[in-house]
Amino acid sequence: MHNRQICVRENLNTMQTLTIELTGNNSLKALKDLEHKHLIRILKEPDLNSYSLSGEPISNEDFRRWVDYAENSQTVTLTEAKLRWAEQKKKLQKLIR
């Protein structure tokens, strides 16, 4: 899960910045689609290749909620994860060529 800041335009004269948490594999793609349609503007993207996440300190309560969410989320076996990454690697290699 990654926190992001996005601008939301409520009408032509006002704009709000929200911090959201991406919880699914397709959530970043959905945000990118909204940005492409000029409905939102992504201000800052996290470095997804980094193990450390930048941001503000998290409260104990928020940390507990995050752990609860992670414990109740769907998991995959290591074998399945490796297969998914192998498929993704093939797709990326095709795009590069």
- 86 lies in a domain? no
Higher pLDDT, 2 or 61: 61
Confidence tier at 7 by pLDDT (50, 70, 90): low
Confidence tier at 1 by pLDDT (50, 70, 90): very low
pLDDT tens-digit map of 23-66: 777 888 888 888 888 888 877 665 555 555 556 677 888 888 88
- 95 lies in a domain? no
Higher pLDDT, 40 or 81: 81
Q: Where are the alpha helices (DSSP H) in 2-97?
A: 27-36, 60-72, 78-96
Between CA 28 and CA 2 the distance in angstroms is 10
Counted domains in the chain: 1
Indicate the pTM of the whole model.
0.37
What domain range is 41 assigned to? 1-47
